[in-house]
Amino acid sequence: MSHFQILSKQIIAQNIKRMDIAAPEIAKSARPGQFVLIMADVWSLRLFFPVVETNPPKGTIAIVFKEESPSEKKLGNLPIGHNLDVVMGPLGNPALPDAIGTSVCIGYELGIARMVPVSRYLQRLGNKNFGILGTATKRHLVMESQMRLSCQRIFVMSEDGSVGKKGFITDALSDVLVHYPVDQIFMAVPSKIVREVLRLVQEKRIKVKAVLAPFALSGIGFCGTDEIKVNKGYVSLLTEGPIFDAQLIDFDIYEERLARSHG
């Protein structure tokens, strides 16, 4: 097994792939919520992917990504056995709680993959953990079984009713909030859903954390492209993220910068 070798590649949903890569040092030190920087080749962008799973004894990490941009498609097309030149990490400084209570992990489509390590971490702490997985349709749902293993109960919501219950994430969350005393919510969902969730918990004393999709241009913190507005000030997603209080994030700026990082 050579350094940064692609060991396996799997299509896990429509346009979404899982890739296992040999990276012993990263596998050893990555913490939940951290991410890695990968370049498919010298012509590609520097891409950032959350470390979804690690296997320190085997020295492997797993990433899950959607093949949207040309650079992501190139990465997805690399064959098993290919050695990647650039895999840098682990990056990020995720602020995860150490308190025990009742938590809800919410993921939407690809965001579910970002929630897997967080959900496992919360389970290890002894939290009572619920999972809410949202998707437009069954073809976009990922890592349901992994979430099922790390949560006491999961709710799968699809907009077209092709999997789980027909409905939205907020429908399931309303149910959970009625029946359980929730202490904290972690979510990796589009900003539109974040706003709806925040509206739902407005009156309650619940901590809501957003697990953001990491992005930057260089990934080494000098160009300011990883800066987002949190609590009216700019912070670096690379050195302080990717988990922030959802109420404090300026999602308009986040979305604009995330979109710019795709090209």
Partner 1 sequence: MANTKRIQPSVQPVAKRVKNFTEVAMGFSKARAALECQRCPQCSQPECVKACPLGIDIPGFIRMIREGNFSNALQKIRESNSLAGICGRACSAPCEVACILNREKNPQPMAIQGLERAAFDFGNIKFQEIFNAQRTNKTGKKVAIIGSGAAGLMTGANLFEDGHEVMIFEALNKAGGFLQYGIPEFRLPKKVLDAELEYIASLGVQIKFNIMVGQAETIQQLFEEGFDAVLLATGLCFGQGNELPGSEASGVLTSQEFLFRINFLSAHLHPKFAATLPAGKTAAIIGAGPDAIDCARLALRLGKKTILIHPSTEDDVSAAVSDRFQAQEEGVQMEVLTKPLEVIQDDQGAVKGVRCVRMDFADSNGQWKLMPVKGSEFIVDADMVIACGPYTANTAVIAFTPGLTIQKQNFLCAKKDRYATSFKGVFAAGGMARGPVSLIETLAQGKAVADEIDQYLQESPKDKT
Positions touching partner 1 (CB under 8 A) are 25-26, 29, 39, 43-46, 69-71, 74, 85-93, 217-225, 227, 229, 233-234, 236, 238-240, 253, 256, 260, 263
Please state the closest distance from residue 226 (CB atom) to partner 1, in A: 10
Please state the closest distance from residue 97 (CB atom) to partner 1, in A: 20
Q: What tokens appear for 185 in the block?
A: 């919510």
Helix H or strand E segment including 48: strand 47-50
Of 76 and 92, nearer to partner 1 (C-beta) is 92
Give the three-state DSSP class for 97.
coil
Of 183 and 240, nearer to partner 1 (C-beta) is 240
Please state the closest distance from residue 45 (CB atom) to partner 1, in A: 5
Q: What tokens appear for 256 in the block?
A: 């604009």
Of 190 and 221, nearer to partner 1 (C-beta) is 221
- Tell me, what DSSP letter sits at residue 57? T
Of 8 and 234, nearer to partner 1 (C-beta) is 234
**Torsional sign, CA 180, 141, 166, 171:** positive
Q: Could you give the CA distance from residue 118 to residue 252 in angstroms, rounded to a whole number?
A: 25
Q: How far is CA 162 from CA 139, 145, 169, 230, in A?
A: 9, 17, 15, 37
For residue 84, is it left (φ>0), alpha (ψ between -120 and 50) or beta? beta
Q: Given strand 60-66, what is the order of strands in its sheet?
A: 6-13, 16-22, 60-66, 53-55
Please state the closest distance from residue 198 (CB atom) to partner 1, in A: 21
Please state the closest distance from residue 34 (CB atom) to partner 1, in A: 8
Of 25 and 183, nearer to partner 1 (C-beta) is 25
